Structure formats: structure tokens, C-alpha cells
Structure 1
Amino acid sequence: MHLLDDWPMPALGLDCFVMEADSGVARARLVSQLAADPRIELAQPMQVFHALAEGDPLSAAQPIVTDWHLRELHALGTGRNVNVAVIDTGVDVGHPDLQGRRIVTRNFVDSGPFPAESHGTQVVGIIGARSDDGVGIAGVAPQARLLALRACWPSSTAASGAVCSSFTLAKALQFALDAHVQVLNLSLTGPRDPLLGRLLDAALGQRISVVAAVDTHSADGGFPSSHHDVIAVAGEQARDHPSTSLLAPDRGIPATTVGGGWSFVSGSSYAAAQVTGLVALLRGMAPATAPAQLRAALAPEVELGLAPRRPERIDACAAVVRVTQRCACDCIAGSTTHWRPRR
């Protein structure tokens, strides 16, 4: 084998090495032999992940502005002081809707400069574009601290246009852990991955809220959305998604695009991005709230200890009330301790 790359993984107490086998060597047998070596903690094949985007815009409005009463939520909180990591492709940080946002950028794909790329620009804009600036769209959490971590890259052969690997994703996850983020967005999917699973466990152990997009072509929603305690988000128009997933708008979502423009995008990648922004709002409003409590606020059946019978459509205003005990979105008092949103 030949050493291609290596990276420390302090969150797991491991050093990670990427090796390439000589041509003609059976990879499965080689991995099995390595796993049997007592000096090696974990051996696995390199796996490929892809973004969950679609290209059919169906609407000309920002659904969450009305569905989630976004303007009213911004009167209560904007995600200020909440660190949000987006592991995706590169981002056009010079976009008019992102200028002045002081976005932390890192490139874990190669040694080149941080590039402006499509999918990451769309996801980051949906989460954190500036609001009330006279241009473009309003991000769900317009004052959150954004970390754009490039672990994926454009691919003309992938249907979604972007792919990632186990190794690049692992490096980005380790950086997010070191940066002590509060919210992590993963708008991508792939096979279940042991190394990434351990890093997600470490993130959850650090009270990081992990939001991931559901792959409706996978029976369990795909990985990482199927990982325990991850907030799995599917599109409201999608079919055959797991009953434990939450539903958010996924069609005709206005988003920032490379080159300073805007377009309408569709797919669970963007549904997850909106929920990531909402989680950042909730964490900013109630910093002491644990991730499990935030997840329960978004899914009341979980809060009551009930098994979800079907995917739940997110009620953002009700989630704010459950977390903050403050009236939101033109609600009326039901009692001294409970608030009932006005329909």
C-alpha cells in the first residue's frame, strides 16, 4: 500500500491514515487483514457521499417567511453568538447577501484556495444570509456565526453535482469539534460509515445539535440522517421518508448562488438548511437548552414520550414557545404556563 494522506483525530484519540492499495489487490480482503491487526483501531474502505439537491424550482417565494412567521421569530432572536458549521462544498463568501458576515472558511479537500461553489453557497445563504439589507433573501439565522467547511467538491458525474469522501468529512467534523460549534449542518448522504459515526457520537457528546438531510431513496433515510439523535429532515413534498424525520419546505426555496445572484432550489438539502437555521435561533434564544430538548421542541410527540406515527411538519412558532415559554407569532395565553399558538 501507499500512504496518500494522514490527519489526527483528537476527538477519538486516533491518527487517521489514507492508504491506496496496489492494483489487483482485493480491497475487502485487505481491509479485513488490517482490521485484525491489534495495532489498528479501525479499518474501513473510503466511501463516497453526495449532496441532496434537485434542480426544479416550483415557487417564487420564501415559504418559511410565511409558514414559520420568520419576521416575528427574528423579533425574538437571530442566532447571535451561536456557532453554526456547514460541512459542504465551497461558498461564495463575497456574495452581496453574505458580505460582512465574517464567515470562517476551511478547505479539507485540497491545498488550494477556498473556492466559490454552488451547493455550499446555497445552503449557507439559506441558513445565514443577511436580513433587512435591501437585497436578496433573509437567512433563517442571519446573525449566527458561520463556519463554511469544504469537505465536498463539484462532480459532473454525480446527479446532485457534489460528492464527498469519508476522509474529507472526517477532517471537517474534527475541525467543527475543535471549534466548539453548537449546530452542525450535513446536507448530504451516503453509506453508514464507522469513522464518521464515531465523530458524530463525539459531536453529540459535546451537546452539538446535528441536522442532516434525509435521502428518500434509502429505506432508513440514509446516513448520517439515520444516526441516533441526529435531527433528520425530509421535504414536505417527499414520499417514503422515515417516520422519525421532521418535515420542512423543500420546493422552490430561494437561495444565494455563485456570482452574486439568487435562484430557486429544491431538495432535502435545503429543507435541512432551513431547520439548521431554526435550531440556531432556538439555541440563541435559550442557550442552556440541551440538544435533546430542542429536538423534542421540534417534535412534540417525542417530548411526550410517544413514538411518532408519521413524519411531523415543523411548527416553528410552537417550537419557540416550548423552548422559551414566551409568546410568539401572535399567540394567545392558554394558562400561566402554557401558550397556544393562534391558528
Structure 2
Amino acid sequence: MRVRALMTAALAGMAMLATQTTATAQQAGDPLSEKQWGLAQLRAPEAWSTSTGAGQIIAVVDTGVDLGHPELASKLVPGATFAACGDRPAPCGNGDWRGVDGVGQASDVHGTHVAGIAAAAANNGVGIAGVAPDARIMPVKALENGSGSFEEIGAGIRWATDHGANVINLSLGAQPGTQLLTLLGQGAETKDAIAYAREKGVVVVASAGNETAPLCDTPSWEAGALCVAATDSAELHSVYSNLTLKSDMKAVAAPGGSSLNGCDGDVWSAVPRGTGSAECGQGDYDSLAGTSMAAPQVAGVAALLGAQGRNADSIEQALMKSARTPILGARGVFTPLYGYGVVDAAAAVAQPM
């Protein structure tokens, strides 16, 4: 059973799109922050006066990270590799995106992009700002060439839990229908690892999936994971995003991009140096869309909350109770499109402890 990274292909070309901008002092130090409409939708800059995520570690269990990227190099804690170890005992590497063979696969830019969304350095003179700019990143490579097994992912989750992660981000998912297999106890390594992490007080955030299906994909379907659907720059449910239905109803929404409106309609973040697409014109950065991009927005806000001294239950409750439902204007009300709503960092950090 294989699990894949969850992003959609960004369309070529620059569309004329009215997007929100951060309009904060971050722009002076992070040249691409004016394109980060997601930060404005999350109201992250308004939360930074209360918390920037200092002291929190976000484990990105994914395709690995470019360990030398200027957005991330100063933010990293030791990581590990569990994908494609072959005959070598796992972990067999340090979480670098190139993997044990030293070759960077095109699809493996994914983990660096996810890590940048969550916690890229701010005011460093290049690129973007992360949602939790003072949190640190733990790179855990559990996917090679964009996919991995439940066993590899589960091992990565357990390793991250045992090595100090406060938040685990899972921007990955299996095909719709796999939920039944895990309910029947098959492919349970990732499901059991999520339960283990949650028991240890770690917040687990996972992508809903990109199949326009009604249910959250596994692993976001599993108990203990917070399922995240995607929104576009107009705060509408993204056309590709799965809905937020799952048995425990732990689900929210966050900026994931449209996949229909060109580079600035999607989510800008770091990619391994030199791998940025020609269409979007930034060698070390790129714009991608998917629920993969939505989950680390929420992981970043979870780190802001964790830095306030909240435990995992309190973090989840603050995220869900303060989230807002577009159009309706309600907060903390469940709908199939948005779960409990679009995550609002400023309102979340103001929730009672």
C-alpha cells in the first residue's frame, strides 16, 4: 500500500488575480511575502505579536527537505530518512530531500515547500515568511519519488515523536476507499503511529486529499489527526479539495491555492535550490496548490499555540473553536466544506488557555 504527497499541478502563466497581501513589516525583509495571501487569510501577522512559535518543533514527515536552503538551514533540528533504505537499517539518512541515492526526484521538492510554509525564516532578506517564523523544522523523509508505504510513514511519525516533535505535519494521503482497509486493521502502521504520537502529546495535522471526495483521506481520516481541507485566495473551498467528513469530525480548512489561477493564485514557498519552475520565475521558490499546502499552514498555527504553553487538546480546541466559516460568518460551527472553518491564527492565540 503506497501513500503519496498531495499537491496539484500549478498551471503555467501569471493570471490576473486580486489577492490579499500581508501588508506588514515582514514584506521589507521577505520579498515574496506580498504574494503570500495565505498569511493574510490566516491572520498570522496579527498573531505574531502574541506568539511566533519559538521553542516549538514541527516535524515534516514528507519527501525530505533541502537542508541548505537559506529559508530553512538555520531552523533545522536533526532529522531522519526512512524511505528507500533498501537493505540498510532505518533510519538510513538525515532527512535530506535527495535520499540515500543522492538523487533529487522532481516530485520530492514537495517536503521543502511544505516546510517553508510552516516555518520559513522571516526578515532574512530572501523569499517568504513562514506561519510560525520562530518554530524549528525536523525533516523526516518517509516518501521517495513522491510516495511511501504505511510502514515507512509510521516509522517516521514514531521517530519524530520520540525525538522531540511538538507538531507533526502529514501532507500525504492514500487513495479514497483506503479508509475501509485501516478500519479493518490492514495497513495500520501509520494509524497506530498517529495514535502513539497523540498519546505522547503531539499534535498531528494531515491533508484532507485532492480528489474532491466527501471523506478525508487516510491518514487525515484516522483518530488523532486533524484533517485540513484547502481554500483559495477568495476563501472559497478549493475545487480539488476533499470535504472534511470523518468519524471524529476533527477538521478545519486553510489556504491551499486554487490550481486554476496561475502562480499567484497558489501558495508560494521554498523549493530545493534551483528547482523552481520557469513558469513562476523563482529558482529557489515556487507556487504550488493542494491540501498539502493547506496542512502546514495549520501546523504553523499549532506551533504558535504550543509556544503559549498549551497542550495538544487545548491546541486542537483553540484551532476549531476560533475558526471562521466564510459567508456564514460563524465560528466553530462544523460544515462539510470547511470543517470547523478557516483557521484564524489571531483568534486562536486569543482563546482562553
Deviation per residue, 1:128-148 (Å, 9 max, x gap): 110011110001112212110
1:313 alignment partner, SS class: coil
2:139 alignment partner, SS class: strand
Q: CA RMSD for the aligned pairs?
A: 2.4
Give the structure with the larger strand fraction. Answer: 1
* Alpha-carbon distance, 1:306 to partner: 6.9
1:80 alignment partner, SS class: coil
In 2: Cα distance, 1:301 partner to 1:222 partner:
24
Structure 1 residue 107 corresponds to structure 2 residue 81: yes
* Alpha-carbon distance, 1:323 to partner: 4.4
**Are 2:97 and 2:109, in contact at CA under 8 Å, matched by a contact in 1?**
no
Q: Which residue of 1 aligns with 2:351?
A: 322
Structure 1 residue 247 corresponds to structure 2 residue 253: yes
Aligned positions, number? 268
1:103 alignment partner, SS class: coil
**Are 1:233 and 1:246, in contact at CA under 8 Å, matched by a contact in 2?**
yes
In 2: Cα distance, 1:267 partner to 1:305 partner:
23
* Alignment match of 1:232 (pick from 227, 231, 236): 227
In 2: Cα distance, 1:200 partner to 1:112 partner:
22
TM-score normalised per structure 1: 0.72
Q: Which residue of 1 aligns with 2:131?
A: 140
TM-score normalised per structure 2: 0.70
* Paired residue type of 1:78: T
* Paired residue type of 1:200: I
**Are 1:54 and 1:267, in contact at CA under 8 Å, matched by a contact in 2?**
yes
**Are 1:294 and 1:323, in contact at CA under 8 Å, matched by a contact in 2?**
no
* Alignment match of 2:286 (pick from 252, 260, 263): 263
* Alpha-carbon distance, 1:229 to partner: 3.3
Q: Residues 253 and 173 from structure 1, CA distance in 2 versus in 1: closer, same or farther, beyond 3 angstroms?
A: same
Alignment gaps of 5+ in structure 1: 1-46, 155-161, 325-343
Q: Residues 201 and 80 from structure 1, CA distance in 2 versus in 1: closer, same or farther, beyond 3 angstroms?
A: same
1:300 alignment partner, SS class: helix
Tell which structure's C-alpha radius of gyration is larger. Answer: 1
Please identify, of 135-144 and 191-200, the stretch whose mean Cα deviation from structure 2 is larger.
Answer: 191-200
**Are 2:8 and 2:210, in contact at CA under 8 Å, matched by a contact in 1?**
no
In 1: Cα distance, 2:315 partner to 2:151 partner:
30
In 2: Cα distance, 1:208 partner to 1:112 partner:
23
Give the percent of matched residue pairs that are identical in Structure 1 and Structure 2: 28
* Paired residue type of 1:293: S
* Alpha-carbon distance, 1:75 to partner: 2.2
2:35 alignment partner, SS class: coil
Matches within 5 A, 1:2-41: none
In 1: Cα distance, 2:311 partner to 2:75 partner:
27
In 1: Cα distance, 2:76 partner to 2:242 partner:
39
Q: Residues 112 and 242 from structure 1, CA distance in 2 versus in 1: closer, same or farther, beyond 3 angstroms?
A: closer
**Are 1:229 and 1:292, in contact at CA under 8 Å, matched by a contact in 2?**
no
* Alpha-carbon distance, 1:307 to partner: 5.7
Matches within 5 A, 1:194-343: 194-217=188-211, 218-236=213-231, 237-238=238-239, 241-243=243-245, 244=249, 245-251=251-257, 252-259=266-273, 261-284=284-307, 286-287=308-309, 289-300=310-321, 308=335, 311=338, 312-323=341-352
Q: Residues 133 and 164 from structure 1, CA distance in 2 versus in 1: closer, same or farther, beyond 3 angstroms?
A: same
Q: Which residue of 2 aligns with 1:152?
A: 143
**Are 2:62 and 2:142, in contact at CA under 8 Å, matched by a contact in 1?**
yes
Matches within 5 A, 1:110-121: 110=85, 111=92, 114-116=96-98, 117-121=108-112
In 1: Cα distance, 2:128 partner to 2:337 partner:
31
In 1: Cα distance, 2:313 partner to 2:332 partner:
12
In 2: Cα distance, 1:240 partner to 1:97 partner:
30
Deviation per residue, 1:29-62 (Å, 9 max, x gap): xxxxxxxxxxxxxxxxxx2100110122666811
Q: Residues 315 and 196 from structure 1, CA distance in 2 versus in 1: closer, same or farther, beyond 3 angstroms?
A: same
Deviation per residue, 1:58-81 (Å, 9 max, x gap): 668112332233333222221111
* Paired residue type of 2:342: R
Matches within 5 A, 1:180-195: 180-190=164-174, 191=178, 192=182, 193-195=187-189
2:351 alignment partner, SS class: helix
**Are 1:301 and 1:308, in contact at CA under 8 Å, matched by a contact in 2?**
no
In 2: Cα distance, 1:85 partner to 1:64 partner:
21
